[in-house]
Chains A and B, each alone.
Chain A
Amino acid sequence: MADDVKVKEKEVTLESLRKADDDLRLPAVPERTLFPKEIGVAAAREQTPAVGQRATRPDGRLHGLGQTKYIDDMFFPGMLHAKIKRAGISHARIKSIDVSEAEKMPGVMATVIGKEIPVNSFGPSYQDQPLLADDIVRHAGDGVAAVAAVTEQQALDALEKIKVEYEELTPVYDPLEAMKDDAVKIHNNESNVYSSKTIKKGDVEKGFEDSDHIFEATFTTQMVEHVPMEPHASIAEWDANGRVTIHTSLGRITLGRADISRTLELPINRIRIIATVVGGNFGGKNEITTEPILALLSKKTGRPVKSVYTREDEFISSTTRHPFVMEYKTGMSKEGKIMARKVRLVCDGGAYCSWSETTLGKACILSAGPYNIDNLHVDAYAVYTNKTMTGAMRGFGAPQVCFAYESHMDDMAKALGIEPVELRLRNTFHEGSASPTGQVLEAVVVRDSLEMATERFGWQEWQK
């Protein structure tokens, strides 16, 4: 299809391209990988009952032999490589995008920009994130255009020829600043606070009045990245019946399929997603990234199209962990019983919502800690900023709040002159305790875990 366009201009280039293409074409017959004819089965895999066995993993065996094929290890005939142009500016309006020079570059078979995507928005809670920014760029890693070419290098070279004109907008990076009424609004909302959660139980003010001591502290955490060893990778390919098959490193294929159906306006039964092998997730591969873009590039070119994130793409263009600002106020009796707790959480929600609503909700519930607290008030807010979007990462807000409530606990233990483990044991949940949301808890073993871990550590006897 791309051949028919600009035939005369490309004739000479095509001739040399085809030769280069042949040279770069992979061996027709895949390399054989040696593995022993007989390895046998580990005993634990043959035992009944199966629960409780230290069974080895059949996929683990293949990993060790180097036989596992991750997405980047897959090659299909005629496959093209796609690269995404990143904005490089944290807040701007796109005035124009010109891909014409890029399309003339050697090896380039197709380009895609945001406006060509039928429904250019996605997101697990709010669909506020574009696949490719077509109006406003909200963080420096926002994609603005995509190119498919015969080799990765050709795709990268073509990206440099894409001309984007920006009108710079005032950015805001600090979530506390972004919460203010007069802050620049990153999305078309009245406020940059896009989600808030509350928990109210008992009467905190009375609880503080009844306390012998009040402690206050503020804790902050940083933005971190999942760093899966396998970068995000996907391959899209169509068949003559209008079905698209997408191999992708995605942790949620049912959601992914629904997103592709929505963004490309395709019936769900025309979409096949395969994610049999993923090299690490930790939450960063829980939403689509380039899949619909690759599907469009593949449709335009009639060829399979692969995209693999560079390690830099992983940092600047995939989701991260929310930085939190956490304010704690706790009222204690002199015997070391928590009488009341007030918590305010401000979570840096990055440029797009992604999994922030879920993170906020969980953090809000968990922020009181595994402790019996009759009087509790938690307010939590997620705020847009012009930084890399924050999303799901192992713990959804729990590591942040645990750092806060456990550091806080030790400070209070020191001030009250109560041993830190003892202080915890005086307050931890037990079977049948009520959670911060009033749920009756069962299978509660926090005390057991405290006792086991400290005993294993040799906590009582330990000397500096």
Chain B
Amino acid sequence: MTDVTITVNGEERTASVPPETTLLKMLREDLNLTGAKVGCDVGDCGACTVLVDGIAVNACLMLAGQAEGKKIETIEGLSTLEEYHPIQKAFEEVAALQCGFCGPGMIMSTKALIDQGEELTKQEIKDALSGNLCRCTGYTKIIEGVIDAYEEITGKKVPEVNPRAA
């Protein structure tokens, strides 16, 4: 067993885990932060996406020990007592989530993308979310939600494109 100390959603947390424990398992079972999900456990589906020092990472591919001393952000830390996070608000308003299982991962990937501060196109949004699989929604309303959130947070507009124009 090794002791691992990480900062999660602004709080320092320590847990004692077998060395082969993934960050995902530690978050879910030792810290009871079950927002990040086990969809495949091998990094294919993105349901376990969390932010590690601001970068979207599949928590199932990272050992808990590798997260030692790092700043982790999970879905549970997005909203506060005072504020409904704009990404979560936008997703609710456009009914972006259906069964919701891919939701936390999708939202954390979105946060990482918007936090980068770049100007976004629709294609860049699709690229950034391509590692988060969803079986229910066809991604359409999710992308609408991301665009709405981006426009609210940054005040900028995502350009309209017409893929049919040859």
Residue of B nearest to A57 (CB): B95
- Across the interface, do A36 and B83 meet the contact criterion of CB distance under 8 Å? yes
Is B124 in the interface zone, CB < 8 Å from A?
no
B interface, how many residues as a size bin? 35 or more
* Minimum distance in angstroms from A455 CB to a CB of chain B: 15
Is B133 in the interface zone, CB < 8 Å from A?
yes
Is B19 in the interface zone, CB < 8 Å from A?
no
Is A63 in the interface zone, CB < 8 Å from B?
yes
Contact of A64 among B39, B80, B92 (CB under 8 A): B92
Is B114 in the interface zone, CB < 8 Å from A?
no
Interface size on A, residues (CB 8 A): 43
Q: Flag A222-235 by CB within 8 Å of B: 1 or 0 each.
A: 00001111110000
Bound-state Cα–Cα, A60 to B103, Å: 9
- Across the interface, do B100 and A60 meet the contact criterion of CB distance under 8 Å? yes
Chain A residues, CB < 8 A from B158: none
Residue of B nearest to A308 (CB): B38
* Minimum distance in angstroms from B50 CB to a CB of chain A: 11
Chain B residues, CB < 8 A from A229: 37, 39, 45, 47, 99, 101-102, 133-136
Bound-state Cα–Cα, A310 to B39, Å: 8
Residue of A nearest to B82 (CB): A36
Is B161 in the interface zone, CB < 8 Å from A?
no
- Across the interface, do B95 and A34 meet the contact criterion of CB distance under 8 Å? no
Chain A residues, CB < 8 A from B41: 310-311
Chain B residues, CB < 8 A from A51: none
Q: Flag B85-107 by CB within 8 Å of A: 1 or 0 each.
A: 00110011101111111111001
- Across the interface, do A27 and B32 meet the contact criterion of CB distance under 8 Å? yes
Residue of A nearest to B42 (CB): A311
Is B79 in the interface zone, CB < 8 Å from A?
yes
- Across the interface, do B95 and A228 meet the contact criterion of CB distance under 8 Å? no
- Across the interface, do B101 and A31 meet the contact criterion of CB distance under 8 Å? no
* Minimum distance in angstroms from B163 CB to a CB of chain A: 14
Bound-state Cα–Cα, A35 to B93, Å: 17
Flag the segment in B51-59, B61-69, B70-78, B115-123 that touches A: B70-78
8 A Cβ contacts from B127-150 to A: 133-136
Known: A34-B77, A34-B80, A37-B81. A63 touches B100 (CB 8 A): yes
Chain A residues, CB < 8 A from B107: 64
Bound-state Cα–Cα, A363 to B64, Å: 50
- Across the interface, do B95 and A60 meet the contact criterion of CB distance under 8 Å? yes
- Across the interface, do B77 and A24 meet the contact criterion of CB distance under 8 Å? no
Question: Besides the contacts A37-B81, A72-B34, A229-B45, what 9 more A-B pairs have beta carbons closer than 8 Å?
Answer: A26-B30, A34-B79, A59-B100, A64-B107, A228-B135, A230-B39, A278-B99, A311-B40, A311-B45
Report A's interface with B, CB cutoff 8 A.
23-24, 26-27, 30-31, 33-37, 39, 42, 54, 56-57, 59-66, 68-70, 72-73, 75, 226-231, 278-280, 282, 308, 310-311
The 5 A-B pairs of least Cβ separation, nearest first, read A63-B100, A66-B35, A66-B75, A279-B101, A73-B34
